[in-house]
A and B are shown apart, each in its own frame.
Chain A
């Protein structure tokens, strides 16, 4: 074990102390004397390590020695250099006490409690961090953020950590944890892991974990000397949906630089090739499913952003250029809600949905009452006026929230993906947005079909004069309709905050797409908007792998231009007298 003095050289500029002091002490005019003080503290710390080392040498009984090795490892994790930290983590694999600590380290929850120079596990609380002791697990008092320094990791450390945790976790009671452990070990498998897996397989009861271990062993079997074992392995792997297996089989069929096959045995080679054909066939099917899902989720975003416009533009005939900014307001509402409840991100997101609807609807009504109602029947002026409103809203947000993007967090249940198998996984955030889009659509449809407001909206849209003659307060209905369309835009903003930037320019990115979807679907037809959104989404995603993102978008636009030439009223044109006006 090497003992490095805390050098301030270029290779190790990331000693815990330096980053901690930077992050934690807000007021640090580092005068020379203070700086020197830090240096001395560094030297002092290294003496501490030295002292621990000396203790280690002096401690003769074996049990005491392991205890000190444990303490030394912890000390090195706390304040060692990255290299020392890595050695320490590797040394901890033999010690079951370390699992909780290592997991906390992996999750970024391990801290150095500066006052007492010891490792603690912290979870965020309103004051700062709620601490527990990293080894004993006992509760410690809550402290402020600056009292602790986070233990930093690099990628190299992370992968070591993953392997060590995998080895430690292979024998825990929870089957899911075991599965994760096996998967973590697959990445770079060494003899030690292999031995652990083999012993585990004998006593393993859970089918999924068994399958995962068997797959690892099968891949390993491909390297064996025994031909029958290899053939058996190939035949078995053919049925596995595993990228690792496919890669390993692929190498069996490849040639080296001189054109010679890497695999000398032609039987094995041919079998591997046949197996690859089967696997690739399945891979293509899954890729197609994935593309459709990508298309649907892009479509869901398009539908969400266009559906409010389908009301204001489609039903009322107002070209509202500020539609995108109403979405932006929805997204900022989500940001504000999350700021108000920093500890309940998921709840904040759900509460933001009605809040965003309210905020955007009120602003929408204000726009309608303040600007648009004076301009009915003058589409050009409406366009210019609402464009002005959109600039106004953007600048307002810039002044209030600063021109910088705001960060909206994704709650735990919306992160990550739904891993169906190695070849197919669907991301949760997109999945939820797809479901959310369909919910919003159904809700909107019900409002228009089943409520009094809906009836009045349809009446006014079909024949304003007649509706007024029947005693419907058209001015109020106009305001409510515009408010409804705007509110839906706000709700769309909540969804967008989960997948893109929340900044003043958020709306501009979506306004053109929204108009495109509404026009393509047929003005005045909600179902048209839904179908158009999903069609364009899927078309875009099918084209993207071949044409690239830039060209795919152009192709879709060209297609729409041609389509509108042929069918100016979109996919589902309105029929009857209402369509003539």
Chain B
């Protein structure tokens, strides 16, 4: 018994040690390299989405090195695993900036992880590229938002439903955390401004990973049976979507009766779902794998070759990293240094073509311009684009539809140089974001 418990303890120590090693495993330190931090969860609940982004970054860095690196030096990826643990994101970010001295960080997925990294990255004056669509109401000197702001995803989607599908009743369903709450607040204000009555809006929040959707779907069905055309605007996150769509299908709610437009369901998520009940439902993104451009085809091929799996898909946040990384490369070349202040300055105004059409430009508010696409889900897990903006839309950090943030703008160029500038009082709020 004793011997066994001893060996058990040894085993435990060994596991702990290897875990620690795994966490900080990086390629060998070379003298003359530029380090790039990759801060994506490789374990825990968010590993589903974030692992792909880590691989995307490694692919992009690899590609850049093949082209001869940057400023005559090789790029070196420093991969850390914040394990879907929000405070650990802050710790790992600090480690990347102080110990590894990375030139920039590409990372985070959930808004709460970004919020926890913010104070660290501002204190140490780093650069973070954030690739996921988010709720807006933020603009930091040190963060570059390559995902969509609400006006680049949620608002156009609602416009499409209202104008093209003639929707009159709205269900705003979301997971209970900051992104859906803020987005729904903006959408509610927007809908009311468009003359939709209070009783024609139903708002519903569910916990993370909610799996029993029977009553909610039944409520949606009843809400939609009242004679007016109804749609669901879904900010339901990740895992909970599968049982939600399944329940919709089983209760006979089809995309023709009550279409669901989702902001968090992309190709990657669809690849793990039984797509039958989802066919015909909508999603709004800035990129679809099915977009037929030469650039996109090349990108998809590059990804499949790198990951050595012809079945892997590409998605919107991957495109955001692709654009963000190339913008950073351009800015570093323009500044001639990786010094954070110089690169931050050089980044504003940098242009790079989107894979889905048009040219992305880094705006003074640290957001980029991108086209908005609305697609219908097909049985093979891909989207058929049914609507598209005819030119790129500029990302707006502070929503114009919330009374508090209406007068506020973000502009990191002189003379304002502020992420939270009130145009009425002509004051920059003390906070940096």
| Pair A155/B272 contact, Cβ less than 8 Å | no
Q: Is B298 an interface residue (CB 8 A)?
A: yes
CB of A421 to closest CB in B, whole Å = 13
Q: Is A44 an interface residue (CB 8 A)?
A: no
CB-CB nearest in chain B for A553: B207
Q: Is B384 an interface residue (CB 8 A)?
A: yes
Q: Is A395 an interface residue (CB 8 A)?
A: yes
**Cα(A247)–Cα(B165), bound, Å:** 21
CB-CB nearest in chain B for A162: B256
Among candidates A152, A187, A404, A499, residue contacting B268 with C-beta atoms closer than 8 Å: A404
Q: Is A18 an interface residue (CB 8 A)?
A: yes
| Pair B48/A404 contact, Cβ less than 8 Å | yes
CB-CB nearest in chain B for A251: B227
| Pair B385/A416 contact, Cβ less than 8 Å | no
| Pair A28/B301 contact, Cβ less than 8 Å | yes
Among candidates B219, B274, B384, residue contacting A407 with C-beta atoms closer than 8 Å: B274
Contacts of B210 in A (CB 8 A): 549
Given A14-B385, A158-B256, A403-B51, A501–B297 Cβ distance below 8 Å?
Answer: no
Q: Is B425 an interface residue (CB 8 A)?
A: no
Instruction: Pick from A35, A154, A408 the residue with the most CB of B within 10 Å.
Output: A154
Task: Please tell me the size bucket of the interface on A.
Answer: 35 or more
| Pair B214/A541 contact, Cβ less than 8 Å | yes
| Pair A429/B242 contact, Cβ less than 8 Å | no
Among candidates B211, B212, B384, residue contacting A152 with C-beta atoms closer than 8 Å: B384
Q: Is A270 an interface residue (CB 8 A)?
A: no
| Pair A499/B215 contact, Cβ less than 8 Å | no
| Pair A13/B291 contact, Cβ less than 8 Å | yes
Q: Is A374 an interface residue (CB 8 A)?
A: yes
| Pair B256/A159 contact, Cβ less than 8 Å | yes
CB of A129 to closest CB in B, whole Å = 13
Instruction: Pick from A30, A187, A403, A415 the residue with the most CB of B within 10 Å.
Output: A403
CB-CB nearest in chain A for B52: A404
Q: Is A427 an interface residue (CB 8 A)?
A: yes
Among candidates B215, B297, B301, residue contacting A291 with C-beta atoms closer than 8 Å: B215
**Cα(A19)–Cα(B383), bound, Å:** 9
**Cα(A29)–Cα(B300), bound, Å:** 9
Among candidates A27, A159, A388, A509, residue contacting B12 with C-beta atoms closer than 8 Å: A388
Contacts of B48 in A (CB 8 A): 403-405, 503
Among candidates B8, B204, B255, B297, residue contacting A158 with C-beta atoms closer than 8 Å: B255
| Pair B310/A26 contact, Cβ less than 8 Å | yes
Given A405-B272, A505-B45, A298–B214 Cβ distance below 8 Å?
Answer: yes
Q: Is A90 an interface residue (CB 8 A)?
A: no
Q: Is A430 an interface residue (CB 8 A)?
A: yes
**Cα(A35)–Cα(B210), bound, Å:** 45
CB-CB nearest in chain A for B288: A13
| Pair A545/B215 contact, Cβ less than 8 Å | yes
| Pair B376/A30 contact, Cβ less than 8 Å | no
CB-CB nearest in chain B for A11: B388
Q: Is B349 an interface residue (CB 8 A)?
A: no
Q: Is A294 an interface residue (CB 8 A)?
A: yes
Contacts of B416 in A (CB 8 A): none
Q: Is B380 an interface residue (CB 8 A)?
A: yes
Given A154-B386, A408-B274, A415–B250 Cβ distance below 8 Å?
Answer: yes
**Which residues 365-405 of B have a CB within 8 angstroms of A?**
376, 378-380, 382, 384-386, 388, 390
| Pair A250/B205 contact, Cβ less than 8 Å | no
CB of A374 to closest CB in B, whole Å = 6
| Pair A417/B252 contact, Cβ less than 8 Å | yes
CB-CB nearest in chain B for A82: B386
Question: Interface readout for B90-112 with A: 1 if CB under 8 Å, 0 if not?
Answer: 00000000000000000000000
Contacts of A499 in B (CB 8 A): 211, 243, 246
CB-CB nearest in chain A for B216: A549
| Pair A549/B207 contact, Cβ less than 8 Å | yes
| Pair A22/B382 contact, Cβ less than 8 Å | yes
Question: Interface readout for B239-263 with A: 1 if CB under 8 Å, 0 if not?
Answer: 1001100110111101111010000
| Pair B215/A409 contact, Cβ less than 8 Å | no
Question: Interface readout for A257-274 with B: 1 if CB under 8 Å, 0 if not?
Answer: 000000000000000000
| Pair B47/A294 contact, Cβ less than 8 Å | no
Contacts of A19 in B (CB 8 A): 290, 292, 378, 382, 384
Given A28-B297, A398-B47, A297–B206 Cβ distance below 8 Å?
Answer: no
CB of B117 to closest CB in A, whole Å = 22
CB of A436 to closest CB in B, whole Å = 16
| Pair B5/A374 contact, Cβ less than 8 Å | yes
Question: Interface readout for B16-40 with A: 1 if CB under 8 Å, 0 if not?
Answer: 0000000000000000000000000
| Pair A550/B176 contact, Cβ less than 8 Å | yes
**Cα(A440)–Cα(B376), bound, Å:** 40
Q: Is B73 an interface residue (CB 8 A)?
A: no
Q: Is A68 an interface residue (CB 8 A)?
A: no
CB of A216 to closest CB in B, whole Å = 15
| Pair B388/A427 contact, Cβ less than 8 Å | no
Among candidates B249, B301, B390, residue contacting A29 with C-beta atoms closer than 8 Å: B301
CB of A149 to closest CB in B, whole Å = 11
**Which residues 197-241 of B have a CB within 8 angstroms of A?**
204-207, 209-212, 214-216, 218-219, 225-227, 239
Given A22-B382, A503-B239, A505-B239, A545–B271 Cβ distance below 8 Å?
Answer: no
| Pair B271/A509 contact, Cβ less than 8 Å | no
| Pair A549/B206 contact, Cβ less than 8 Å | yes
Q: Is B423 an interface residue (CB 8 A)?
A: no
CB-CB nearest in chain A for B12: A388
Q: Is A301 an interface residue (CB 8 A)?
A: yes
Among candidates A29, A82, A405, residue contacting B273 with C-beta atoms closer than 8 Å: A405
Q: Is B4 an interface residue (CB 8 A)?
A: yes
Contacts of B298 in A (CB 8 A): 29-30
Given contacts A247-B225, A429-B250, A505-B209, list 11 more A-B pairs with CB under 8 A.
Answer: A13-B291, A13-B385, A14-B385, A18-B292, A27-B301, A154-B386, A158-B254, A415-B276, A544-B215, A545-B219, A548-B204
A-B pairs with beta carbons under 8 Å apart, 28 shown:
A10-B390, A13-B292, A19-B292, A23-B380, A23-B382, A158-B256, A290-B218, A294-B215, A294-B218, A297-B214, A301-B212, A398-B43, A406-B272, A409-B276, A410-B274, A417-B250, A417-B251, A417-B252, A425-B252, A427-B247, A499-B211, A500-B243, A509-B211, A549-B204, A549-B206, A549-B210, A550-B205, A550-B206
